[in-house]
Amino acid sequence: MADVFLSKLEQMPGEMTVPGDKSISHRVAMIGSIAEGVSVIKNFSSAIDCCTTINCMRKLGVDIRESGSDFVIQGKGPDSLQEPVDVLDCGNSGTSIRLLCGLLAGQNFPTILTGDDSLRSRPMARIMTPLNENGADLRGRQNNRFAPIYINGKRLTAIGYHLPVASAQVKSALLLAGLYTNGKVEIVEPITSRDHTERLLEFCDVDVLKGKQIISLGPNRRPKARNFVVPGDLSSAAFPIALALLLKNAKLKIRDVGINPSRTGFLDVLQTMGAEIQIENRRLQCNEPIGDIVTGYSKLSGIEVGGKTIPLMIDELPLLAVVATQATGRTVIKDAGELRVKESDRISAIVKELKKMGASIEESSDGFIVEGPTPLHGTSCASHGDHRIAMALSVAGWIADGETIIGNAECVDISFPEFYKLMI
């Protein structure tokens, strides 16, 4: 698959499940690898990004096997990782490279991490600076700003850091580095970001102490192996949810989706816009909240989104732009400058492509403004090599008149390889 050709949909599936959560799968692969004992992982993400993390852990000497649809990780404890014989290639995956920086900073061997063109142009000072300020030795291209990153692994004593920008990747890297210290580990975040690392460490018996915006580690820092079932990925479910809201007469149920409150900003914002969304069968599975999401065609109004809500839906903002083109009134997204340093500049990418389709959307320095509703027209769009842009534009293509072509749509495999098969 290179380009995909889409036309207006009259209907969509009424029920589905989505593959395992990408963020959680990365963490399960890393923490399972340094845990004591065997972990069996069910519903591990099918995303290429998560495969990247598995391959990196294998190159660090960890025995990870596939058994049917499960992954079996033979954890041999925090000090069992081995010096890799080659550079670790993190591909397109920001979560792999940034979390591995933390995990590898405190090892007694050196590692070099690199990635594709997109990853090598994404900011890495945010990860190297806090680790280096805490005694680690990481060096990167252009004065420690970009990958490749050389990690001169060495014992760290303590970790203390006040994050200037909310980032679950940075927080998680510092917590993973903290597992290899004996001293105080305390991380303060300005706004709550996704807390999967904290939840998983807790589930594996590590002492995690959570204050309002402060996370610290207690004396037990050695994770125990656990069997784990990964919840369905809400960031993938977001695409069928958006389509169901926009498609006349659509009704949709998605079972077993992660509904961790640090990830549900998109659902909350949609509900405020007037979306009919119910969550049924709420429960806790392996210390992560999950449930079944029930939704369908809804009349929507514009909304203003900024501040604390942004980290709770950072990956869904390009999709919200598509939804906003069909809502009545003005939608304003602000405080989302982080979108400019994702797999692509997601503000400029989504604004440029939706404009081509006839949307009334303007870019601002830290977000965008949409006036709706406007009919969308099929045309030739670019994915910008970014999976979430390709999928957001596909939803736009399915509600547009005429034919929409998404160029280089194979990038959807980065997070959601089943996307096109599941949707139509």
Cβ closer to ligand S3P: 236 or 404? 236
For residue 215, the Cα-to-chain-centroid distance in whole angstroms is 20
CA distance 24 to 50: 9
Least separation in angstroms between residue 403's CB and ligand S3P is 30
CA distance 398 to 10: 9
Least separation in angstroms between residue 327's CB and ligand S3P is 24
Query: Shortest CA distance to 112 belongs to which of 148, 60, 136?
Result: 148
**Tokens (6 digits) for 283:** 């429960």
Phi and psi at residue 138, to the nearest 5°: -120, 135
Least separation in angstroms between residue 9's CB and ligand S3P is 27
Stretch that binds ligand S3P, among 50-58, 162-170, 218-226, 282-290 (CB under 6 A): 162-170
50-89 residues near ligand S3P, rule: CB under 6 A:
none
Cβ closer to ligand S3P: 4 or 168? 168
373-392 residues near ligand S3P, rule: CB under 6 A:
none
Cβ closer to ligand S3P: 230 or 252? 230
Give, for 94, the enclosing helix (H) or strand (E): helix 94-105
Task: Give the one residue of 169, 383, 394, 404 binding ligand S3P; rule: CB under 6 A.
Answer: 169
Q: Kindly state whether residue 194 participates in binding ligand S3P, applying the rule CB under 6 A.
A: yes
**Tokens (6 digits) for 400:** 């547009």
Q: Kindly state whether residue 23 participates in binding ligand S3P, applying the rule CB under 6 A.
A: yes
Question: Taken in order 322, 264, 167, 206, is the CA torsion positive or negative?
Answer: negative
Task: Give the one residue of 25, 43, 45, 95 binding ligand S3P; rule: CB under 6 A.
Answer: 95
Instruction: Give the x/- contact pattern for ligand S3P in 206-245, rule: CB under 6 A.
Output: ----------------------------------------
Stretch that binds ligand S3P, among 143-151, 168-176, 282-290, 298-306 (CB under 6 A): 168-176
**Beta pairing partners, 405:** 5, 380
Cβ closer to ligand S3P: 55 or 298? 55
- Residue at 168: amino acid letter: A
The residue from 315, 335, 366, 401 that is catalytic is 315
Residues in Cβ contact with 175 at an 8 Å cutoff, skipping those fewer than 6 apart: 102, 185, 187, 197, 198, 201, 215, 217
Q: Kindly state whether residue 118 participates in binding ligand S3P, applying the rule CB under 6 A.
A: no
Angle between helices 22-34 and 48-59 (to 10 degrees): 10
Is 366 an active-site residue? Answer: no
CA end-to-end span of the chain, whole Å?
16
**Beta pairing partners, 159:** 185
How many of the other CB atoms lie within 10 Å of CB of 420?
A: 16
In the chain, what are the helix, strand and coil shares in percent, each to the nearest 5?
Answer: 35, 30, 35
Instruction: Give the x/- contact pattern for ligand S3P in 320-359, rule: CB under 6 A.
Output: ------------------x---------------------
Cβ closer to ligand S3P: 36 or 335? 335
Indicate which residues carry an active-site annotation.
Answer: 315
Enumerate binding residues for ligand S3P (CB under 6 A). 23, 95, 167-169, 172, 194, 314-315, 338
